[in-house]
Amino acid sequence: MKRVAAALLVLGLAAVAVWTQEARPAADDPILEQRVAALSQELRCLVCQNETLADSRADLAQDLRNQIREQMKAGKSDKEIIAFLTDRYGEFILYRPPVKPATYLLWFGPFVLLIAGLVFLFRHLKARRALITVEPLTADERRRAEELLGGTSDIAATGIAERETV
């Protein structure tokens, strides 16, 4: 019985081994596959727009990855392949938008807002500081304050004591 189980297990493992081999993508050229993966990380899937071409399981993403693989095999450079894709799909396909006049607002807008905010904050704080004037208490006010504090101190103390016993 044990032997049969062992044989089955071995068979099962062999089947898994064969299966994994079949499931492996066209990894006949690992360097090429690495290039395909690296470039498709830089590209946007047009179907699921928040995913890169590398991560997307959309059919079109698969087709575009194949397209990239083929062009790489044909000896095209990354730049040429990116040009091929932007000619067809526009710069939207670039996951990292290029820095150019049309995207200045996108790239530098947040920093401009940050600086504007800091300038506003400092000016506001400065203006506010000017408004605060420290006026020392007069002798009369000080006496009254001490009287008030002294008068309530007992109640306050018993209050705390009561709470502590709970």
Residues that bind other proteins (CB under 8 A): 46-47, 49, 59-60, 63-64, 67, 86-92
Q: How far is the CB of 121 from other proteins (least distance, A)?
A: 14
Could you tell me if 67 and 18 are in contact, meaning their C-beta atoms sit under 8 angstroms apart?
Answer: no
Return the number of the residue (127 or 155) whose C-beta is nearest other proteins: 127
DSSP label of 100: S
Are 73 and 32 contacting, i.e. CB atoms less than 8 angstroms apart?
yes
Q: Of 59 and 140, which has the nearer Cβ to other proteins?
A: 59
Nearest residue to 64 via CA among 77, 74, 54, 73:
54
Smallest gap from Cβ 88 to other proteins, in A, equals 4
Closest CB to other proteins among 49 and 138? 49
CA 65 to chain centre: 24
Q: How far is the CB of 17 from other proteins (least distance, A)?
A: 32
Kindly give the interhelix angle for 59-73 and 78-89, rounded to the nearest 10 degrees.
140
With respect to other proteins, which residue has the nearer C-beta, 54 or 60? 60
Minimum CB separation of residue 28 from other proteins in Å reads 21
Phi and psi angles of residue 52, each rounded to the nearest 5 degrees, phi first:
-80, 165
